[in-house]
Every structure is written in structure tokens, then in C-alpha cells.
Amino acid sequence: MENFEPTIIAFVCNWCTYTAADLAGTSRLFYPKNIRLIRVMCTGMVDPQYIIKAFLEGADSVLISGCHPGDCHYINGNYKARRRIKLLKEILPQFGFDPQRLRLTWIGASDGIQFAEIMRDLTLQMKALGPSQTKLKMVI
């Protein structure tokens, strides 16, 4: 388990969290390579099926991260995302997924330091939690 490197899929919005990731990069802040960023225009466009697909394909964790409440570039996309995460957090644990594997955060465009910090924390959490059940099964 010591050598376990979790795969973390992060859907990040173009306007806030992706910009924060960019800032973290240009500021030469370290964050683990376990995070795979997927840039989307808004967290409001992340359909639950993308998250389900990521898990079934073997992601150990899925992170959705967008603008703080009130800051959404499209006014309310992040509120819609929050409802969908609430929904998935009801559905997925029923099938043995640890609810900690699905995360939603708000990271603003200027929060480069916070972005790197959250990515480090999340990676440590997933290392502690161990591999997701999807890795072991012939499930697509």
C-alpha cells in the first residue's frame, strides 16, 4: 500500500479553479502528479455520468471544483453542480463507494496556494483510503 499512487480525476472550471491551477503552476507551487485535470467551461456542465464513468474506469477519487458561490461566470452553474454532487453522494455509497472519494470544492482564480494545498491533502487522503474497488473488477 505504501507505493499506492491514487488516480484523481478533477473536473475544474475554466474561470476559477483552472485559473487557480495555472497560477499555482506559474508560481512554481508543488502539487502531486496524481491529479488529472479536466478543464470544463463550468462545473454546471459536469453531468453525473462523467463522474460515474471516471469511477468505473478506475479513478480513486473524483473532484469537482469551481467558483465560490456567487462568483459563477454563468451565474448559477456551481449551484447546479452542488445538487448533482448531493445526488451522487446519495447514490454511490449504496454500491460501496466511500463518499470521501467524491469531492466538491470552490477554489477561486486567485487561490493558487489553496489549490496546491487541497490537491496535496486530497492525494494524502486517497493514499490512506487505498485503491477503489473498480480497479479490481472486470467492470466497464
Partner 1 sequence: MTITAKIDLTGHNPLEALQQFFADILKTENITSILVPQRLPPKNTVMPTLVTDASLLEGVDPLAPAFPMNASRIAARLTRKPMGGKMAAVLRPCEIRAFIELIKLKQARKEDVLLISVDCLGAFQNKEYLKFAGQNGKEATLRFYKNVMNGNVAEAEGLEFAPACKACEYPVSENADIQIGLYGLQTGESILVKAQTEAGDRILNQMKLPETNETQERRTVIDGIISKHTGYRDSMFTETREATNSLEKMSAYFASCVNCYNCRVACPVCYCKECVFVTDVFNHDPSQYLQWAKRKGIIKMPTDTLFYHLTRLAHMSTACVGCGQCSNACPNEIPVMELFRTIAHATQQAFDYQAGKSIEQEPPLSTFREDEFQEVVGITN
Helical ranges in the chain per DSSP H: 17-26, 48-56, 77-91, 112-129
The residues pairing with 63 across neighbouring beta strands, listed in sequence order, are 10, 103
Of 27, 86, 110, 113, the residue at the interface with partner 1 (CB under 8 A) is 86
- Per CB under 8 A, contacts with partner 1 among 100-119 are 103-106, 118
Those residues whose C-beta lies under 8 Å from the C-beta of residue 2, and which sit 6 or more positions away, are: none
105: cell is 470544492
Using the minimum distance from each CB to partner 1, give the nearer residue, 14 or 100: 100
Please tell me the distance from the alpha carbon of residue 71 to that of residue 85, in angstroms, as a whole number. Answer: 19
Is 46:18 a contact under the CB 8 Å cutoff? Answer: no
Mark the segment that binds partner 1 (CB under 8 A) among 8-16, 25-33, 34-42, 82-90: 82-90
Q: Does 70 bind partner 1 (CB under 8 A)?
A: yes
Q: Does 14 bind partner 1 (CB under 8 A)?
A: no
Q: Does 35 bind partner 1 (CB under 8 A)?
A: no
Point out which residues bind partner 1 (CB under 8 A): 48-49, 52-53, 56, 69-70, 76, 79-80, 82-91, 94-97, 103-106, 118, 121-122, 125, 133-134, 137-140
